Structure 1
Amino acid sequence: MKILDQNHWRNLRKGVLAFIGERPRIQRQFAAVAIDGALCLVAVWFAFSLRLGVWELFSRPIMTFAACSLIFWYPIAWRSGVYRSLIRYSGSRTVTDLAIACGLLILPLLVVCVVFRLPGVPRTLSVLHPMIFLLLLAASRVGIRFALLDLLNVVGVNARRMLVYGAGRAGQQLALSLRHEPQVHLVGFIDDDPRLDGQRLDGVQVFGSFRLHQVLHETAADEVLLAIPSASRARRREIIEELQKEDVYVRSLPSLTNVIDGSITVNDLREIQIEELLGREPVAANELLMGRTIVGKRVLVSGAGGSIGSELCRQIIRCRPALLVLLEQSEYSLYAIERELDAMMKALGLAIPIQLELANVSDRSSMRRIYKRHRPETVLHAAAYKHVPLVEANPLSGLRNNIMGTLHSVKAAEEVGVTNFTLISTDKAVRPTNIMGASKRVCEMILQARATEPGVKTIFSMVRFGNVLGSSGSVVPLFKAQIAAGGPLTLTHREITRYFMTIPEAAQLVIQASAMAKGGEVFVLDMGEPVRIVDLARAMIRLSGLSVREPDVPEGDIEIIETGLRPGEKLYEELLIGNNPEPTHHPRIMRAREGLIPWVELDRMMKRLNAVICESGDAATAMQIISSLVPEYAASGQWLGGRGDLVEIAE
């Protein structure tokens, strides 16, 4: 019987809230206007009764004064924003707005009662009535909120127990929104201010963060909601690292925008982004460097639809180039980034011409045609095949796209007088153990060699960095999908480590490094500390509110299994071939001057490699050429003498 009563009450609450929520906003505003009109009349009755000591309802003075009050009230209330607030979220700010509006109401009433002297209306009513009206308005707002959020609020049997981390304005707005959710039970606030420990906020206990572990166990919380959008990234990282030690699901508010708007709801919550755990405090971009090779110039981005290329385009648009050329071989990727940039320019009020070029960088004639047509002044070359296993299994395609694509682009750039040409490289080019890394090292050598040739006016430079979070094929989205599927999480080796950086930070640093180039530099981005992939996997599982299944915890939710290193995969990545990095003016950009092969010798090898790739299709010979160009890379008998791309890889 008790369960039936709870279900009936819960259904009633849902029905009432649904009926109110489905009403158009204009209807809800008219309802508030009507309620306030009735309260204004009640306030007139009370004011006359208190002032004259006689209870009278419909005398001529009462009706005259009531009409004046309503005539003055509605324009003042509308101008003050009284009817733009949601009554079910009423709080101290709502009462303040009402007080301001009622204070303004006193002024015209004083003029009417004192200057024009309405017959039978005491002058003191011009002050007494707004005071009583304010009390009635405040009581109505609080009463409606109580009825909707408290009286009708029944916690479901299977309600999730939630803690809000942050007792500030964002936390309070979020707590108000949670009252609408029947399957949610707010068990408390957590705050870094120790003075708030033991206090109550709107009837809910506030706990100090210094006893976080104890609070999580005492409240049996299922989920922690981070409502600290103004906290530094370092502080957020500390909090998240503490929470990942517990079996609790963590979600977060993304930014201050909704806090300022006062419109925070449960829908604004999102899962913790892994960059919040791995990322660093952002360094403000040097606007001079950002604009030096972009502002007012013709800019070409190859690989414009890729993870890095598309972010470079977004950053470039903000710097207002004279022209942006998007070069991409994937039709859909080119279409998608063009649509996104169009929407972005409309939002920013910009009108920058964008030219789309659907072409493959390894096609020499296409590169010469495109460069001659647009004559770019700045080129950011991000086009490359980057997936290690795929390039390992299809070496000729990888070498053609990466090496020959870079070579043809470099020569086309020189022919049309490009001022700055920057190659996007990778940490896998350092002492490479796979074909992709070796091919990128050869690309670096092409630019280094051309930069030292006499008479070359183009400034060639390279920017080398590690993995970026959220790029296509990266481990983070793979782990998210595996967690959603119930596991297991697969990694190739428990000791494998990788450097990580956010895509926007990487793109911003690439543009700034390009502006610092003098010719031939290999710029290396500060990637922070390398991250063990197994630690990343554990963190993602725990932040999803799940536990890791291990030999000593057989009842855990998700298992982590090793699949073995893939062909050409390293345990550890490096960023420098030598150990002599030089600092630059930017704290996160270093300069490395590494060994190179003179252009005369390198050009001969490139012609031979091109013939092997494009004519004979002999993968084994191509590997021999790459090994001679990059002594650190050894094919180590992987290639069994097959021809073409589909060769067998030895176990």
Structure 2
Amino acid sequence: MRRGKTIQRFFNKRYGLFRRFVLDQRFLPRWVVLSIDLAICVFSYTVSVFLLADTSLQSNDVFSFFQRAVILVSIHLICFVLFRSYSGIIRHSTFTDVYRLAMATVAMFLISMIGNSAYKSFGSHEIFSWMDLLLYAILSFIFLVALRVSVKESYRFLKATAAQSSSKKRLIIFGVSDKSIGLAQSLISDPTAPYQPVAFLSMSEKRNNFKIMNLPVLNCCDDIEDDLRDIRVNFNVEGVLLVGDMLSVVEKNQIMEHAFSVGMEVYSTSLPERWEKHSDMEFKIAPLQIEDLLERHVIETDIKLISEDLRGKNILVTGGAGSIGSELVRQIAELEPKRLIVLDNAESPLHGIDLYLKNNHPQLNYQVYLADVTNKDRMKGIFDKYRFEIVYHAAAYKHVPMIERHPREGIRANIIGTRTLADLAIKYGCERFVMISTDKAVNPSNVMGASKRAAEMYVQALQKRPNVKTKFITTRFGNVLGSNGSVIPFFKEQIKRGGPVTVTHKDITRYFMTIKEACQLVLQAGTMGHGGEIFVFDMGKPVKILDMAERMIKLSGLRPYVDIPIEIVGLREGEKLYEELLIDGETTLPTFHPKIMVGRVMDHDYDEICSSLDELEKLANSIGKKKFIIQKLKCLIPEYVSQNSEFSQLDEHS
């Protein structure tokens, strides 16, 4: 018994080596394919002569067997070359390859018959009998096609056995459409793919024994959860694969809930035609992410317009190593600027973006600067050297609790830094100054939001001054998915540690968009602005953070409140339940882009704002108490009302 298993393992191992050897081979050169075809022709003629031997249909002995074979195979060779029958890849043969073989064989038969008749007219005998030529044509065509079919089917069999490797993820593909069928075909055709499709999952098809590419189409439209449970057991399925944009967010959430409840994973992928190369498969097919489950639509921008606007310009990106700034840098680098300057005061992230540009854009004329936007002399030297045409100002301190405890730093970076850069933009004749703001600047409840609102007010007032040619454009949006310090990486880390996942309030909501989309809209708004506007982005529906936490736990294959506890810990300093995109009294007007609106904002007196900012700067640089700084900030921004903060008492006494 043991000896039998040893022998079986020996042959299984040798078969595995042979299978990998065959699958890993490159395509045969054309001369090899042509040589094989000619060998088949010689064999076919030998068989035809053998079959007609000692019959009245055999050829005359005018020429020897060898001479007749050379003549016939030479004619066939000329026809192969004329119709390029050898140009196809044998293991991927199609009807086109069979058609070429047929045409070459028919041409060979006609040329041989004509030549045979011509020879007979000058001599007394034919070289070949008509039956000899016909039998040879039929046999050679059959053997040539049989070779291609056998190689193709053998290769398919070896791929199929390779695809049944236990290391592959067994998936059912959701939907029966050209898109899902195309994806299944891509997976099946690649023996190295880490995923194995075993069936299609349909919510509408009710046919029995219905198959596509030999994969069954399974119906799942009555009790989805029970159907998925049966499918998981009967087909040993590990997950469901969602393809492209075939499902709405609501439908994705439903599938996710039902799949997770029966112990199946959920994967998503873009369509194969969007993969840059076939090896992207492993990266493009990935477990469903929380971003896929948020009710938001993909945002599209006019890349051509943005590219024409930025090409050949000297561009500065402040905060260029941060979440927003680094994505701006990556997108601008694709648009062929004349020169790109990346400025940040964070050493390690700046080094990272430097390496990225060096590796991915070696032809780009760029420079990174480790510098602080609050250092006026340093900023003046950089502006004087490069004479920027466009500035994207993304440098800011953004973490609400941190700035609530350190208001001086928030005021220096967010207000004084913006003022310094804006003044230099005018002095050195910049065409445009695009400032990245936040929805927390709307009716601010914390120092960070108030500091960004003060910066908004300053650049708007600056725009109203006479002889100011620089266009000051402000963009205002909410949270970006996956940015540094955002809730998603925070929750992921908590789940990784085994919990608890901490949510500040059960009813707290936030607006979200991806970093890429936010930066695309920033670039688009920058091309649209005439100066002095605040562009407000349509962020879609606000998301309940508690719901997000529960979904992220489920996406990790765990159960909320069972495997991973969720704790409500109370609002943080300066945090409010709901974010807004407009200040009381502001309204919006539509633009040509459906996701960008321009806010109609109140005017502010430049001299009054400058006076207040001068005092704020002195207070920020002094050793006085923080409350005096906040009092001055509240005077500048009357709608600033602190929440969950030590500064709330200042509102009570006002």
Instruction: Report the TM-score range of the alignment, normalised by the length of the smaller protein.
Output: 0.7 to 0.9
CA deviations on 1:518-546 (whole Å, 9 max, x unpaired) are 222111100000011222222233334x2
Instruction: Tell me whether 1:130 sits opposite 2:141 in the alignment.
Output: yes
**Which residue of 232, 236, 241 corresponds with 1:226?**
241
Q: 1:376 matched to which residue of 2?
A: 388
Match 1:163 to one of 158, 161, 172: 172
Q: Which amino acid aligns with 1:390?
A: M
2:323 corresponds to 1:310: no
Match for residue 340 of structure 1?
A: 356
In 1: Cα distance, 2:103 partner to 2:587 partner: 71
TM score, norm. by length of structure 1: 0.81
- The alpha carbon displacement at 1:70 in A equals 7.6
Residue 89 of structure 2 is matched in structure 1 by 82
Please give the residue correspondences for 1:477-492 in structure 2 after superposition, counting only pairs within 5 Å: 477-492=489-504
SS of aligned partner of 2:565:
strand
Identical columns (%):
32
Are 1:633 and 2:631 counterparts? no
SS in 2 for 1:380: strand
Q: Among 374, 378, 384, which residue is 1:362 paired with? A: 374
Match of 2:461 among 438, 449, 471: 449
Higher mean alpha-carbon deviation, 395-404 vs 632-641, is at 632-641
> Shift of residue 123 of structure 1?
3.7
Aligned residue for 2:587, secondary structure, equals coil
1:512-531 correspondence runs (5 A): 512-531=524-543
Displacement of 1:126 in angstroms is: 4.4
Tell me how far 1:168 sits from its aligned partner: 0.9
Indicate if the aligned counterparts of 2:533 and 2:600 stay in contact, CA closer than 8 A: yes
Q: Does 1:53 align with 2:54?
A: no
Cα distance in structure 1, aligned partners of 2:13 and 2:21: 12
Give a deviation string over 1:267-323, Cα, whole Å, max 9, x none: 652122333322644344235752564233322211112221122223323433332
2:472 aligned counterpart, secondary structure: strand
Q: Could you tell me which of 421, 427, 447 is aligned with 1:435?
A: 447
Residue in structure 1 matched with residue 123 of structure 2 by the alignment: none
Q: Which residue number corresponds to residue 124 of structure 2?
A: none
Matching residue's letter, 1:226: L
TM-aligned CA deviation for residue 462 of structure 1: 0.8
SS in 2 for 1:189: strand
Task: Please state whether the residue corresponding to 1:80 is helix, strand or coil.
Answer: coil
- Structure 2 portions without partners, runs of 5+: 55-63, 120-126, 649-654
Deviation at 1:189, TM superposition (A): 1.2
Alpha-carbon shift at residue 95 of structure 1 (Å): 3.5
What's the CA shift for 1:493? 2.2
The Cα offsets for residues 356-388 of structure 1, whole Å up to 9 and x where unpaired, read as 332111111111111121111221111111122
CA distance in structure 2 between the aligned counterparts of 1:72 and 1:502, rounded to whole angstroms? 59
Q: Of the candidates 338, 341, 351, which is equivalent to residue 325 of structure 1?
A: 341
**In structure 2, C-alpha distance between the alignment counterparts of 1:561 and 1:440, rounded to whole Å:** 31
Deviation per residue, 1:5-25 (Å, 9 max, x gap): 6x9968965664456546895
Tell me, in whole angstroms, the C-alpha distance in 1 between the residues paired with 2:229 and 2:531: 60
Given residue 631 of structure 2, which amino acid in structure 1 is its aligned partner? Answer: Q
Equivalence for 2:576: 570
Deviation at 1:415, TM superposition (A): 0.8
Counterparts in 2 of 1:354 and 1:201: CA distance versus 1, 3 Å: same
Equivalent residue, structure 2, for 1:460: 472
Change beyond 3 A, Cα 1:237–1:80: farther
- After superposition, what is the alpha-carbon deviation per residue over 1:177-208, rounded to whole angstroms, capped at 9, x for unaligned? 57987xx8754212467377741134331124
Aligned to 2:98: 99
TM-score (norm 2): 0.81
Is the CA contact 1:39–1:137 (under 8 Å) kept in the aligned structure 2? no
Q: Does 1:143 align with 2:154?
A: yes
How far off its partner does 1:496 sit?
1.5
Structure 1 gaps, min length 5: 551-555, 642-651
Give the conservation status (yes or no) of the 8 Å contact 1:470–1:503: yes
Q: 1:609 aligns with which of 613, 616, 640?
A: 616
Contact preservation (8 Å) 1:524, 1:592: yes
Secondary structure of 2:539's partner? coil
Query: In the aligned structure 2, how far is the partner of 1:513 from the partner of 1:267?
Result: 32
One-letter amino acid of the structure 2 residue matched with residue 569 of structure 1: E
Question: What do residues 492-527 of structure 1 show as CA deviations (whole Å, max 9, x unaligned)?
Answer: 222211111122221121122222222221111000
Match of 2:316 in 1: 300
CA distance in 2, matches of 1:608, 1:282: 44
Q: Distance in 2 between matches of 1:11 and 1:177?
A: 26
Distance 1:534 1:402 in 2: 30
2:344 maps to a residue whose letter is E
How many pairs were matched up? Answer: 612
Decide whether the 8 Å contact of 1:170 with 1:227 is kept in 2.
Answer: no
Change (3 A) 1:262 1:370: closer
The counterpart of 1:250, out of the listed 266, 282, 306, is 266
Separation in 1 of the partners of 2:338 and 2:168? 56
How has the CA–CA distance of structure 1 residues 518 and 168 changed in structure 2, closer, same or farther, with 3 Å as cutoff? same
> 1:175 & 1:299 partners in 2: Cα distance?
47
| Letter matched to residue 413 of structure 2 | N
* Mapping 1:6-45, distance limit 5 Å: 13=12, 16-17=15-16, 20-21=19-20, 29=27, 41=39, 45=43
Evaluate the alpha carbon distance shift between residue 176 and residue 388 of structure 1 in structure 2; reply closer, same or farther with a 3 A threshold: same
Q: Is 1:591 equivalent to 2:604 in the alignment?
A: no
Aligned residue identity for 1:475? V
For the structure 1 residues 532 and 198, does the alpha-carbon distance in structure 2 shift closer, same or farther, using more than 3 Å as the test?
farther
Candidates 494, 497, 502, aligned match of 2:509:
497
Q: Alignment partner of 2:47: what SS?
A: helix
Q: Is the 8 A contact 2:436 2:475 kept in 1?
A: yes
Deviations 1:82-113 (A, max 9, x none): 06xxx5xx6xxx44464255346547745874
The answer to whether the aligner puts 1:559 opposite 2:565 as a matched pair is yes
CA separation of 1:35/1:513 partners in 2, compared to 1, >3 Å: closer, same or farther?
A: closer
- Deviation at residue 572 of structure 1 after TM alignment: 1.3
Q: Is the 8 Å Cα contact of residues 161 and 186 (structure 1) preserved in structure 2?
A: yes
What secondary structure, in the 3-state scheme, does the structure 1 residue paired with 2:243 have?
coil
* 1:395 match: 407
Q: Which residue of 2 aligns with 1:644?
A: none
